[in-house]
A = this chain, B = another copy of it.
Amino acid sequence: MDACIVTGASRGLGRAIAMALASAHATAAAGQDHPLLSGAGMLAMLVARNEADLATTAEAVNEVEGVTARCLAADLATVDEMDALVESMVGAVKDALGNGDGGSLIVVHNAGSLGNLKYVDEFAGEGMVTTISSTMSLNMSSPIALTGALLADGGIASLFTNVVVVNISSLLAVQAFPCWGLYAAHKAGRDMFFKVLATEVEHIKAERGMGLVRVLNYSPGPLDTAMQGEVRTAISDASQQQLFAGMKEEGKLVTVQASANKLMALLAGNAYDDGAHIDYYDELPAGGGSSSG
A residues with a Cβ closer than 8 A to B are: 79-80, 82-83, 119-125, 128-129, 132-133, 136-137, 140-141, 144-145, 147-149, 151-153, 155, 157, 173, 176-182, 184-193, 195-200, 203-204, 207-208, 237, 275, 293
Say what secondary structure dominates the interface of chain A.
helix
B153 touches A176 (CB 8 A): no
Inter-chain contacts of A152 with B (CB < 8 A)? 121-125
Inter-chain contacts of A180 with B (CB < 8 A)? 196
A181 touches B196 (CB 8 A): yes
Q: Can you pick out 21 interface pairs between chain A and chain B where the beta carbons lie within 8 Å of each other?
A: A119-B203, A120-B204, A121-B152, A121-B203, A123-B152, A124-B148, A124-B151, A124-B155, A125-B152, A128-B145, A136-B140, A140-B185, A144-B182, A144-B185, A176-B195, A176-B196, A177-B199, A179-B196, A185-B190, A187-B192, A188-B188
B136 touches A141 (CB 8 A): yes
Q: Least Cβ distance of A172 to chain B in Å?
A: 8
Inter-chain contacts of A151 with B (CB < 8 A)? 120-121, 123-124
Inter-chain contacts of A176 with B (CB < 8 A)? 192, 195-196, 198-199, 275, 293
Inter-chain contacts of A137 with B (CB < 8 A)? 133, 136
B136 touches A148 (CB 8 A): no
A132 touches B120 (CB 8 A): no
Q: Least Cβ distance of A174 to chain B in Å?
A: 8
Interface centre among A141, A149, A204 (most CB of B within 10 A): A141
Q: Least Cβ distance of A96 to chain B in Å?
A: 22
Inter-chain contacts of A196 with B (CB < 8 A)? 120, 176-181, 184-185
Inter-chain contacts of A178 with B (CB < 8 A)? 196, 199-200, 203
The closest CB in chain B to the CB of A174 belongs to B192
B188 touches A192 (CB 8 A): yes
Q: Least Cβ distance of A267 to chain B in Å?
A: 20
Q: Given the complex of chains A and B, what is the CA–CA distance between A88 and B189 in angstroms?
A: 31
B181 touches A185 (CB 8 A): no
Q: Given the complex of chains A and B, what is the CA–CA distance between A79 and B122 in angstroms?
A: 18
A189 touches B200 (CB 8 A): no
Known contacts: A80-B129, A128-B149, A141-B136. The answer to whether A121 contacts B185 by CB under 8 A is no
Q: Given the complex of chains A and B, what is the CA–CA distance between A98 and B196 in angstroms?
A: 50
Q: Least Cβ distance of A123 to chain B in Å?
A: 3
Q: Least Cβ distance of A86 to chain B in Å?
A: 8
Q: Given the complex of chains A and B, what is the CA–CA distance between A200 and B190 in angstroms?
A: 23
The closest CB in chain B to the CB of A207 belongs to B121
Q: Given the complex of chains A and B, what is the CA–CA distance between A176 and B215 in angstroms?
A: 13
Inter-chain contacts of A125 with B (CB < 8 A)? 152
Inter-chain contacts of A197 with B (CB < 8 A)? 120, 181
